[in-house]
Each structure stands twice: as structure tokens, then as C-alpha cells.
Homo-oligomer: A and B are copies of this chain.
Amino acid sequence: MAKHKKDKFNDFGLGEKSSSEGFRALNKDGSFNIEKINIPFFERLSFFHSLVTMSWSKFFLLILVGYFIVNTFFALIYGFIGIENLTHTEGLSPFEQFMEAFFFSAQTVTTLGYGRVAPIGLPANIVAAIESMLGLLSFALATGLLYGRFSKPQSKIRYSNKAIIAPYKNINGFMFRVVNPQKNELLEVEVNISLSAKRDNSDLRDFYVLDLERSSVRFFPSMWTVVHPIDDSSPLFGLTEEDFFKKDFEFIAMLKAFDESSGQMVYSRSSYKPSEIAWGQKFIYVAKRENGKTLVDVSRINECEKAELN
């Protein structure tokens, strides 16, 4: 098989020793099946990155909790200074005083400033002046975070659940389909497939780059069937489904495109293990013409039918 070895390719920085039955370098969703441990603490902290990538529910919860804590903190400070430094707080119970201070703080940090309760005297005024400035900066930060969350390039490219071995011209091919289900246009799309295989009687893995019928398209308005022809220069040539399992194959697909709506490059990845490869199938054609327009049914990305292999 050495003659097929065209490229040492990315071995994920792990040398070639990472083989074992059932090895998977890349998860189906494109994330790496690799975990970094013992990251120095200060380098793990990537404050902005975390806040931009966390889920929306977590993000809003964090803001709410932060808002509550900040107001509690400042309410305690106003109480410590002396609640009499806030107007309209005379004759209240301690709990009511805390509440007034809490809501005064909320009105200050948001720069709402109704003024029914207002600071009098130096200490309360100093705290309020600082709090309002911090409030503005915090919401300035929130503005950036919201923008960062919304504007980060997101490719929702979907891969067919299964790759297939299908007839292709007078030979066979390894194929899968990709679809861009969103309205944004992807341009200058490039795709490549790498194959990671267990070496016979060894703990090492070999890496191959698979030739594609076509590795790039200028436009990608709908669906694309990526094809690796299994000719005699292919590392898959002459292999059976059983061989795929024996060699513990992993097909790693990587897609790269220019997203016209965001003006940025987007990347997408997925991988197929032998159990996710269907032999003797072909993809069903999913476009039809209606009123001079071409309609593509993206929900049928996975639809196959039986096909005789060559």
C-alpha cells in the first residue's frame, strides 16, 4: 500500500503511534476527539472567547446573575456608608432599606436614574459616580459580546449521514453529499478527504490524501456530491467492506469556503468510520424544475437507492 502514500498529511501532532482499534480522530460534528490537559491556568482563560461561544441560555443566565450580584454588592456598600445618604429612605425597616439601596443601584448601573432615590453627600455620590461608569463600561462590553456572538461566521453545512460506495463511470467511487441549508451563498468551495488507516500488524497509523473527481467549485448554491474515484491509484482499490473494518479506516472530510454574507472564510469538517459507509448504494437526484426555477429539496440529502457495483 506504500505506493499510494502520497502525503504524510496531518498526523494531528501525535506522530504515528496513536493507533488502536476504534480510533477516531474527528467526531461527526467536526470537533476533534482530542483533549488538551494541564493547560497553564492563565492560558486557559479566554474570557471573550468563552463568552462568545457559550450557549445563549448560559449567556443570559450569566448576565442576570452578574446583574444581581453587582446590585447586591453596591446595595451593601450604600448600606455601609449609611442609608441616610440616599433620599426617600427615612423610616424604613432594614429590609426595605436594603431593597431601596438595591434598586437604587440598579437604577444607577443602568444609568436609568429616576431620581426618586438619589445620593446626597460625598461618599454616596462617589460610589454612585463610579457605579454608573462601571455600568456603562459593562454594557459597552455586552454590546461587543452580542455583536461578537451574532457576527461570528457560522457555517451550518450538513453532511450526509452515511458515505456510500457507489458505481462511478465504469469503476466505483467513495461518495458523500454536502448541503448548505442556509440562504447565504458559499463561494470558491474547496473540499478534501484524508484517510487514516491502521497499519497491518502494527500500532502505527498511515495517512493518505484521496484524489477527488473535483476538489473545488466556484459556487455552492445547493447540494454537492463529493466523489473519490476508486481507480488503481486509490488506496481503496480492491478492498472489501471487511477490509475497511480491519484497517479501522477513518475518512476525514474538510470543507473550506468564502461566506459571501459575512465576508469571511468558513471551515467545516466531518468524518466517516466504516460503520457509517453503505456499500452498493447511490444518491437520489433531488432537484426539479418549476416555473423556470430549480428547486432543491435539502431534506432529502440522505436518500439513497440500491445500485449494482462495478
Point out residues on A near B: beta carbons under 8 Å.
8-10, 12-15, 17-18, 20, 22-25, 32-40, 43-44, 46-49, 52-53, 63-64, 67, 71, 87, 99, 103, 106-108, 110-116, 118-120, 122, 125-126, 128-129, 132-133, 135-137, 139-148, 150-153, 156, 158, 181-185, 187-188, 192, 194, 213-214, 217-225, 254, 256, 258, 260-267, 269, 285, 287, 289, 292-300
A121 to chain B, nearest CB (A): 8
CB distance from A175 to the nearest CB of B (A): 12
What are 15 A-B residue pairs whose CB atoms fall within 8 Å in the complex? A13-B220, A23-B289, A36-B295, A37-B296, A38-B297, A38-B299, A40-B181, A99-B122, A106-B133, A108-B112, A112-B113, A112-B128, A141-B150, A147-B147, A218-B254
In contact, A156 and B43 (Cβ under 8 angstroms): yes
Across the interface, A287 reaches (CB within 8 A) one of B18, B116, B145, namely B18
Given that A18-B294, A151-B148 are contacting pairs, would A111 and B114 also be in contact in the complex, using a CB cutoff of 8 Å? no
Inter-subunit contact A129/B113 (CB<8 Å): no
Bound complex: CA A183 to CA B49 (Å): 9
| Distance from A223 Cβ to chain B, minimum over Cβ atoms (Å) | 4
Copies in the complex: 4
Nearest-neighbour CB distance to chain B for A28, whole angstroms, equals 13
Minimum CB–CB distance from A211 to chain B (whole Å) comes to 14
Set of chain B residues within 8 Å of A114, measured between Cβ atoms:
113-115, 118-119
Q: CB-nearest residue of chain B relative to A225?
A: B13
Alpha-carbon gap, A55 to B218, bound state (A): 28
Q: What is the interface of chain A mostly: helix, strand, loop, or mixed?
A: mixed
B185 touching A32, Cβ below 8 Å: yes
* Cross-interface CB contact of A296 among B8, B13, B47, B182, cutoff 8 Å: B13
Please pick, from B144, B194, B267, the residue contacting A260 in the complex, using a CB distance under 8 A: B267
In angstroms, Cα B53 to Cα A182, docked, is 14
Decide if B128 touches A103 in the complex (CB within 8 Å). yes
Q: Which residue of B lies closest to A7 (CB)?
A: B214
Closest 4 CB pairs of A and B: A144-B147, A38-B299, A115-B115, A114-B115
Complex contact A110–B125 (CB within 8 A): no
Distance of A304 Cα from B110 Cα, bound (Å): 55
Q: Which of B10, B116, B295 is within 8 Å of A218, CB to CB?
A: B10
With A46-B182, A181-B39, A294-B35 as given contacts, are A132 and B144 in contact (CB-CB < 8 Å)?
no
- Given A67-B133, A103-B129, A141-B150, output 19 extra A-B contacts at Cβ < 8 Å: A12-B222, A14-B222, A14-B287, A17-B285, A20-B289, A25-B294, A36-B297, A36-B298, A37-B296, A39-B181, A43-B181, A49-B184, A49-B261, A67-B129, A108-B112, A111-B113, A112-B128, A137-B142, A141-B143
